[in-house]
Homo-oligomer: A and B are copies of this chain.
Amino acid sequence: MIKVGVLGFGGLGQAAAQVLAPKQEMCLVAAADKAGYAYDPDGLDLHRCAAAYRDQGSIGHAAGVGTLSTNSIAELIQAAEVDGYFLALPNLPNTFMASVTQQFMDAGWQGVLVDALKRTSAMEQLLTLRPALQKAGITYLTGCGATPGLLTAAATVAAQSYAEVHSVTITFGVGIVNWEAYRATIREDIAHLPGFTVDQAKAMTDDEVAALLDKTNGILKLENMEHADDIMLELAGICGRDRVTVGGIVDTRNPEKPLSTNVQVTGRTFEGKISTHTFTLGDETSMAANVCGPAFGYLKAGVNLRQKGITGLLTAAEVMPQFVC
């Protein structure tokens, strides 16, 4: 049984807890949000934790297992016995994931860390920690959500047919009905729009986000996004990062996807033919399923890598995720 922790208990963190609930190989024992944490070595009660977060503002209020803290991540690291953490944390600011990672190293913690970060610049911050992570005995798998993650791994597999890869084009469709459940994610999306910086998006009030969405009929159209798929495919030797493009449409007022999420990998075969492989996600799969499933598949792979003595920083394009039963 792999003991799992989740950092962040918003929409993504709670979906992660739901994904884990029926698993036989993994058990959620620890979780933290900004204001507190919860730990139960026998497994957290998802409903109690979700209720504490929803009704009282923090998982730290969960009766019997919760602790309120302004230093929740550092305290949880010390308090809990966990094999691997899924960092279901906001990407903003870009240095946040790297600073949390530094906390794990400072605490002398050893285990597996998995993130679903999105921005190239956030991953570049992490890459500077590669030697330190290896030394610290941490196996860190980065970019392990949907994109980057599931689609980057599919692109890596698809690339194998080609002598040269000309382009990797990722196009996603997301449909949600309640953007308020994904406050951090929506602001990250807004930060990709022309005319917005990361800091501006992060500083927006809920009313300002709602006003923006009113203007666009709830649609966010994103083009040429700064997405870490590019650096991951470059590091894996598949193609230069300039050949990777990511864009998509987010509909915040419709649970149906505005288009089928897909990745197209175009290249030249050894015979000189130009062709395109396409990997398309089923429309009924949610963002939460396509992020959390891969994240735990990589966490399991990370646990096995660590058992074989492999530590340091790896990306979702370098490791085959495993299926969590």
Contact = CB atoms under 8 A, between A and B. Distances in A.
A156 B154 CA distance: 9
A271 B292 CA distance: 12
Interface in A255-277: 266, 269-271, 273-277
Interface in A139-175: 150, 153-154, 156-163, 165
9 contacts: A156-B321, A160-B293, A160-B323, A271-B288, A273-B289, A275-B281, A275-B284, A279-B280, A308-B308
A237 interface: yes
A323 B156 CA distance: 8
Given A153-B320, A159-B323, A279-B154, A270 B309 contact: no
Contacts of A277: 279-282, 285
B320 A289 contact: no
A1 interface: no
A290 interface: yes
Interchain residue pairs A-B with the least CB separation, the first 3: A275-B282, A275-B284, A269-B289
Interface in A172-190: none
Contacts of A159: 323
Given A273-B286, A277-B279, A322-B237, A150 B160 contact: yes
Interface of A: 15, 18-19, 21-22, 150, 153-154, 156-163, 165, 236-238, 266, 269-271, 273-286, 288-290, 292-294, 297, 308-310, 317-323, 325
Nearest to A152: B157
B309 A286 contact: no
Contacts of A161: 150, 281-282, 285, 289-290, 293-294
Nearest to A278: B280
Contacts of A285: 161-162, 269, 273, 275, 277
A270 B282 contact: no
A22 B282 contact: no
A266 B285 CA distance: 11
B322 A236 contact: yes
B320 A19 contact: no
Given A150-B160, A153-B157, A308-B308, A284 B289 contact: no
A114 to B, nearest CB: 12
A319 B212 CA distance: 44
Contacts of A309: 308-309
B162 A158 contact: no
B279 A19 contact: no
A289 B318 contact: no
Contacts of A18: 270-271
A287 to B, nearest CB: 10
A241 B287 CA distance: 28
A162 B320 CA distance: 16
A290 B165 CA distance: 14
Contact of A323 (B236, B266, B283): B236
Contacts of A279: 154, 158, 277-280
